Amino acid sequence: MSVGIIANPASGKDIRRLVAHATVFDNQEKVNLVRRILIGLQAVGVRNVWFMPDYFGFYDRAMEVFTGENSLQMDIRLLDMRINADQEDSQRAATLMLEKGVRCILVLGGDGTNRVVAKGCGEIPLMPLSTGTNNVFPTMVEGTVAGLAAGLVATGAVERESALKRAKKLVIWVNGQERDIALIDAVVLTERFVASRAIWDVEKIRQVVVTRGEPFHIGVAAIAGSLQRIGSEEAQGLNILMSRRNELPQIRVTAAVGPGLMQELSIADFRTILPGQRIPIVETPCVIAVDGEREITLETEDEAEIELSMEGPWVVDFKQTLSQAVAKSLFQK
- pLDDT for residue 18: 46
Residues forming CATH 2.60.200.30 domain(s) in the chain: 169-309
Residues forming CATH 3.40.50.10330 domain(s) in the chain: 2-167+313-327
What is the C-alpha separation between 120 and 142, in angstroms, rounded?
25
Burial class (CB in 10 A: 0-12, 13-18, 19+), 158: buried
Beta-sheet pairing, 293-298 with 286-290: antiparallel
CATH-assigned architecture of domain 2-167+313-327: 3-Layer(aba) Sandwich (3.40)
CATH-assigned architecture of domain 169-309: Sandwich (2.60)
Sheet strands (E) in 175-292 = 177-182, 185-189, 205-210, 237-242, 251-258, 261-273, 278-280, 286-290
- pLDDT for residue 222: 92
* The residue type at 183: L
- pLDDT for residue 239: 98
**Which residues of the chain carry a pLDDT beneath 50?**
13, 15-19, 195-196
- pLDDT for residue 198: 53
